[in-house]
Amino acid sequence: MFSPTPISHPRQQTRMKIADLPLPADIIEYYARAEAGITELYPPQAEAVDKGLLDGTNILAAIPTASGKTLLSELAMLSAIRSGGKALYIVPLRALASEKYDQFSKFREIGVKVGISSGDFDSREEYLGDNDIIVATSEKADSLLRNETHWICDLTTLVVDEIHLLDSPDRGPTLEVTIAKLRRIIPHLHIIALSATVGNANEIADWLDAGCVRSEWRPVDLREGVYLDETIHFLGRKGADLQVSRAGPVIALVNDTLRDGGQCLVFDSSRRNAVSTALHVSRALKPPDNPDDPDPNDLIDLANTVRESETDAAQKLADCIEHGVAFHHAGLISEHRRIVEDGFRSNRIKVIACTPTLAFGLNLPARRVIIKSYRRYDPNYGMQPIPILEYKQMAGRAGRPHLDPSGECVLIAKSYPEMESLLENYIESDPEPIHSKLGTESALRSHILSAIAGMFATTRVELMDFLELTFFAAQQETSYLRDIVENVLDFLSKNEMITKAGESLDPTPLGRLVSRLYLDPQGASTIIDGLRSCDDASDLTLLHLICRTPDIRKLYLRKNDYSWIRNFVSTMQEEFTYAPDVFDTGYEWFLSEVKTAAVLLDWTSEVQDKAIETKFGIGGGDIRGIADTAQWIMYATARLSGHIGTPHTKRAGDLTECLKYGVKPKLLSLVAIRGVGRVRARRLYDAGYTTPESLLVAGDVRIGKIVGPKVAQNVIKEIEMGGAGL
């Protein structure tokens, strides 16, 4: 039950006004007339200004979600731009990059140009230099550095969103090396680092030579509690009773939230559980009696849009949406994730059951956050409690500024001792310290090669000096890395990517190419050996070859996978460049590679999404994610084949385009037309329309009978405008 009056926090007596900041008049006027009419700064924002945010002082802002981190970055970027500067805004995820690009595009009305870097990993994207703000993921920013993009040197401001991801084994090393490179290239670079959950903020601030702004202040108060026996037990406060629900605690908590006109995020432990929870909630919700509830017809329209995809996941999602409920996880295709996100922001969707990935970055606040399960499955240790940092990320989504009197995060316990444990270990605890994950061979291989190829280090001494700029070096002695670095240098030398002569380190042409292609050197070595080992290569040969690289995520094996995959291997054994014996220790890993390659083979053979999802136990988002990564690695394979002179260059190049669209080669000219996907392209081709020219001759009336009148009109218009390469 929500208190109508927020619990008081100390507030700054005199607010700092934007009109009093040393900013150009048009920027001050812009914020005054903005949708929210921003005229004053929140206390943490004012502290950042006092510590030099607008004077070029580096700032680390470790402040809660919705406390104004993005506004801090905007003020710093706009101030720099008006002084002739240029800003790079780094985010961890593509979805977040798109969100920030859309958000910053509003500055075009005051003459600020905004771009997003989303091209190939070996592209310089020099055209982006015409923009004042460029949004990119850390991997793309690193790639731009490797390809010696000229406008990088014009940067004056760097914003790093979600800086706590330095702790991520996957993204952390790239993020810290990218920051180190940019600081080496641009000594006076103004850095603003942002996070809601940093346990050792001062340590990261020291690494960045930054002023540290730490605050618990929130514009909407956060109440954290544990649900037990129809009661939410808040720390230090009397518990709030809920109406008893036989359907369980989640339904009780959701119904209580919706009665007061709020929205809910329900975090679950897995994709399957999130879907199950969403279906359960959608069937159990009490009939809406709030006049602010969305028109049922709006929800039906949203659901029908989702139903156009015939997969099981889409049908389940559509069923949920009709009741104002949805689920959200990485297995959904991006179009469906956007429908869910936009529906929640517009208050049409009231409840989202989701996996923890939703807590990182995307702006989807809710009145109440329900953490259904605080344990996650670890393949090595079974079910394990989540980190405090992850809990704090999820809890930070509670409370919608300007809409909610307060926000609540509720954990669910089954016993009194468990409730006490949750209060102590999550609600009363601080996030864990962030630790660099750079100190392994797998993390260092690619970054050492890029440092040598990019001339950041031409000797062993210079290489160790460069590593001194990393967050790893700020936390421990780099002498710990010497043996690891030597092993990496030996690997790069053995695989002809660098040459070592005494202390000197020089990149070879192959090493420069591998660095620009953004491949793990071990993956590049695997590809090169595979290309050289066969005179002829089928599509499956090349697909399995790229699935052997560490750059592509392998699919897990389910119990019912073993039989058909082994039969597949037995039938196609001549197609593989490497196939261990069934008794070898690496045989299970090999089967996992084959399963992943089989997904890609079905994708490029135009097998329907629904059939792929059922056969492999993955979602449409997974299919496209794997295909997207495979397209990049196959493109790199074609480039490597051309460089070393094997006969597989053309097949790899053709397969790259087939992976992009999920079609056979004959359909490539059709799917290149905007609005014609793999399904429509096959319908058109089977009806005798095999080229864009044949569609023009037929006209929109005939084509409309195959793909629908509106689609046909858009397709013809696209072809006439040259959108199909005519």
Residue 187 buriedness (CB in 10 A; 0-12 / 13-18 / 19+)? exposed
* Mean pLDDT, residues 392-411: 90
Residue 285, SS3 per DSSP: coil
Are the beta carbons of 199 and 127 closer than 8 angstroms?
no
Q: What is the pLDDT of residue 8?
A: 35
Q: What is the pLDDT of residue 1?
A: 38
Percent of the chain with pLDDT over 90: 79
Tokens of 28: 């001050």
Low-confidence winner among 153-167, 571-585, 621-635 (lowest mean pLDDT): 571-585
Q: Encode pLDDT of 173-226 as tens digits.
A: 999 999 999 999 999 999 999 998 889 999 999 999 999 999 999 999 999 999
Domains belonging to the chain, first-starting first, are 18-214 (3.40.50.300), 221-427 (3.40.50.300), 441-517 (1.10.10.10), 521-662 (1.10.3380.30), 668-720 (1.10.150)
Q: What is the pLDDT of residue 4?
A: 34
Low-confidence winner among 239-243, 625-629, 668-672 (lowest mean pLDDT): 239-243
Question: How far apart are the C-alpha atoms of 576 and 573, rounded to whole Å?
Answer: 6
The number of CA neighbours under 13 Å toward the Cβ of 720 is 10
CA 453 to chain centre: 28
C-alpha R_g of the chain: 27
Look-up of token digits 């009363």: 428
Question: How far apart are the C-alpha atoms of 470 and 448, rounded to whole Å?
Answer: 12
Question: How far apart are the C-alpha atoms of 198 and 218, rounded to whole Å?
Answer: 16
Q: How far apart, in Å, are the Cα atoms of 322 and each of 307, 316, 325?
A: 11, 10, 7
Q: How far apart, in Å, are the Cα atoms of 652 and each of 344, 470, 546?
A: 42, 37, 11
Q: In what order do the strands lie in the sheet with 368-371?
A: 240-241, 231-234, 221-228, 406-412, 368-371, 264-267, 351-354, 325-328
Residue 318: pLDDT over 60: yes
What stretches of 452-533 adopt beta strand conformation (E)? 498-501, 504-507
Contacts of 459 (CB under 8 A, 6+ apart): 503, 504, 505
CA angle 65, 199, 168 (to 5 degrees): 85
CA 449 to chain centre: 25
Tokens of 51: 């510590």
Low-confidence winner among 6-20, 374-388, 473-487, 702-716 (lowest mean pLDDT): 6-20
* Averaged pLDDT score across all residues of the chain: 91
Residue 2: pLDDT over 60: no
CA 664 to chain centre: 29
Q: pTM higher than 0.85, yes or no?
A: yes
pLDDT interval class at 360 (50, 70, 90): confident
List, as one string, the DSSP characters of 522-564. Answer: HHHHHHHHHHHH-SS--HHHHHHHHHTSTTSPPPPPPTTHHHH
CA torsion, points 169, 175, 179, 185, in degrees to nearest 10? Answer: 110
Residue 289: pLDDT over 80: no
Q: How far apart, in Å, are the Cα atoms of 462 and each of 33, 194, 436, 520?
A: 51, 30, 21, 22
Sign of CA dihedral 383, 385, 387, 392: positive
- For the chain, the residue count is 726
Tokens of 117: 């870097």
Are the beta carbons of 466 and 184 closer than 8 angstroms?
yes
Look-up of token digits 């468990």: 418
Question: How far apart are the C-alpha atoms of 276 and 273, rounded to whole Å?
Answer: 5
pLDDT interval class at 241 (50, 70, 90): low
Amino acid residing at 464: M
Q: What is the pLDDT of residue 584?
A: 84
Question: How far apart are the C-alpha atoms of 182 and 90, rounded to whole Å?
Answer: 12
Are the beta carbons of 250 and 370 closer than 8 angstroms?
yes
Comparing 720 with 486, the larger pLDDT belongs to 486
Are the beta carbons of 227 and 102 closer than 8 angstroms?
no
Are the beta carbons of 23 and 54 closer than 8 angstroms?
yes
Residue 480: pLDDT over 90: no
Are the beta carbons of 413 and 377 closer than 8 angstroms?
no
In 10 A of CB 587, how many CB atoms?
A: 15
Question: Residue 673 — φ and ψ, nearest 5°?
Answer: -80, 130
Low-confidence winner among 63-77, 512-526, 619-633, 709-723 (lowest mean pLDDT): 709-723
CA 536 to chain centre: 37
Residue 516: pLDDT over 90: yes
pLDDT interval class at 295 (50, 70, 90): confident
Contacts of 223 (CB under 8 A, 6+ apart): 3, 7, 234, 237, 406, 407, 408, 409
Percent of the chain with pLDDT over 70: 94
Q: What is the pLDDT of residue 20?
A: 93
Helix axes 271-284, 312-321, angle to 10 degrees: 40
Are the beta carbons of 357 and 330 closer than 8 angstroms?
yes
